[in-house]
Structure 1
Amino acid sequence: MITFEQVSKFYSHNGVAVTALDHIDLKIQDHEIFGVIGESGSGKSTLLRMINTLELPSQGKIKIAGTDLMQLNDTQKRKSRKKIGMIFQQFNLLYNQTVNENIALPLRLNKAYDQQKVREVLEFVRLSDKGNHYPRQLSGGEKQRVGIARALITKPEMLLCDEPTSALDGQNAYDILELLRRINQTFGTTMVIVSHELNLIKQLCNRTAILEKGKVVETLEIQKGQQQPQFSSYYERVRESLG
């Protein structure tokens, strides 16, 4: 479980105090897909970066499985991050390296390279034939699947997704949504999805926090009846909606 207890984050910008997060209380259950929705500047990305200790709260506590992240030393923080995968809006791939090399990067950094693991995760994201391609040879949806494969390669307990479909449209966005759902169903991975896209949150998440000007306005449970039925393609969903 991830818990935020009265978490606030303050910055100083040009000598002016800025409140990015204001007394946040949240509980995110193990294995759930939890959404955080809000407009640009509402504090979504700051909240996400605190879970993997890239940002630390100015006050309050953040706990993962009962451990207060503020009490961890640098070595313990690095160990904690190894259990967390990150998926970015703009993919964050290395364009001078192949798909295989991009996916294997976390393994190489940990001196645990395993080509079999790379093959397995490529197959899972359905890019088995793209291993020797470079990012410039891929579509936007394929680039995001490479980013997801790279996040999965270390078998994380948690995935943090920062606007995972906002750089995509149509079928590509729908394919990524279904891939994230499949990861959760297959591995039980806890997911925190940050987005300004209501449809993504509604279709994918179990619960969502609504963030406005650094405050949690409300946390809502998304009823299963509200979630869209699963279709094999984005176009089937459109036809069903319009039919």
Structure 2
Amino acid sequence: MITFEQVTKSYTHHGTIITALDKVDLQIQEHELFGVIGESGSGKSTLLRMINTLEQPSQGVVKVAGTDLLQLSEAEKRRSRKQIGMIFQQFNLLHNQTVSENVGLPLRLNKTYEQQQVQEVLKFVRLSDKAEHYPSQLSGGEKQRVGIARALITQPKILLCDEPTSALDGQNAYDIMELLRKINQTFGTTMVIVSHELSLIKQLCDRTAILEKGKVVETMTISKDNQQQQFGSYYERVRESLG
């Protein structure tokens, strides 16, 4: 579904070359819950932005459904992004618009607005009773569910989740994790979940890559039956890198 082939991304900052990603190889399967874990500055967000074509590799190839994203025209990139939803750490809601208006924004931008779609997705994320509320009237967990509903409204094939629970407390974080799992099970949505939280990755993902200083140092399958054993070989290294 999503393939990184020897992907490198470098920037120049004040005359110094900074390598955000360094020869990354990844294969993410269709319908998979795939985690990417690493400390701040490890390249996680850059990796996500490669998938929705907001960043381009300096070297290497990124493919989605077999298509080399570098070969797409700007119009084709825009169409590709419509198949990819994005969930943000800080929700990114418009505070002067209601929940319903926030969720329907992508449809209005695409000139395909249907109120029934908005109502259905709000029901799915259990926010039907909050449709006319404003973000300031919501809890953190409710704000993230609005963000998820907005990402779902275009029925994306891929959902990119950038630290989706790190701004939330324990119960709200758990509720969001369960909602993401429900989305994957109901719609078969392929998810790439970036986080520095081991607990989220262990409980939610099928496989995970550890990213350190732009390099994938390990990719592995997560056993839901024996998570501690699976993570035991490298847990100390990850914990140290995350401080």
TM bin, normalised by shorter chain, reads over 0.9
Three-state SS of the structure 1 residue aligned to 2:186 is helix
Deviation at 1:118, TM superposition (A): 0.3
For 1:84, the aligned partner's letter is: I
Number of the residue aligned with 1:125: 125
Structure 1 211/218 Cα, relative in aligned 2: closer, same or farther at 3 Å?
same
State whether structure 2 residue 2 is matched by structure 1 residue 2: yes
Offset at residue 76 of structure 1 (A): 0.2
Counterpart contact for 2:203–2:224, Cα < 8 Å: no
2:233 matched residue in structure 1: none
Runs of 4+ in structure 1 off by over 4 angstroms are none
Deviations 1:4-48 (A, max 9, x none): 000000001111000000000000000000000000000000000
Specify the alignment match of 2:189 in structure 1. Answer: 189
Q: Which residue is 1:99 aligned to? A: 99
1:204 touches 1:227 (CA, 8 Å); kept in 2? no
**1:175: how far off?**
0.3
Q: Distance in 2 between matches of 1:134 and 1:66?
A: 41
Q: Supply the distance in 2 between the matched residues of 1:81 and 1:226 (Cα, whole angstroms).
A: 37
**Offset of residue 227 of structure 1:** 5.6
- Does residue 1:162 correspond to 2:167, yes or no? no
Q: State the identity %.
A: 79
Deviation at 1:170, TM superposition (A): 1.2
Alignment root-mean-square deviation, CA:
0.9
Q: Using the alignment, how far apart are the partners of 1:171 and 1:127 within structure 2?
A: 17
- The runs of 5 or more residues in structure 1 that have no matched partner are 229-243
For the residue of structure 2 that corresponds to 1:165, the secondary structure is: coil
1:147-158 aligned within 5 A: 147-158=147-158
Structure 1 CA distance, aligned partners of 2:227 and 2:126?
Answer: 25
Kept after mapping to 1: 8 A contact 2:86/2:151: yes
Q: Report the Cα distance in structure 1 between the residues aligned to 2:86 and 2:39, rounded to whole angstroms.
A: 21
**Residue type of the alignment partner of 1:35:** G
How many corresponding residue pairs? Answer: 228
One-letter code aligned to 1:209 = A
Q: Which runs of 5+ in 2 are unaligned?
A: 229-243
Distance 2:85 2:195 in 1: 17
TM-score (norm 1): 0.93
The aligned residue for residue 29 of structure 2 is 29
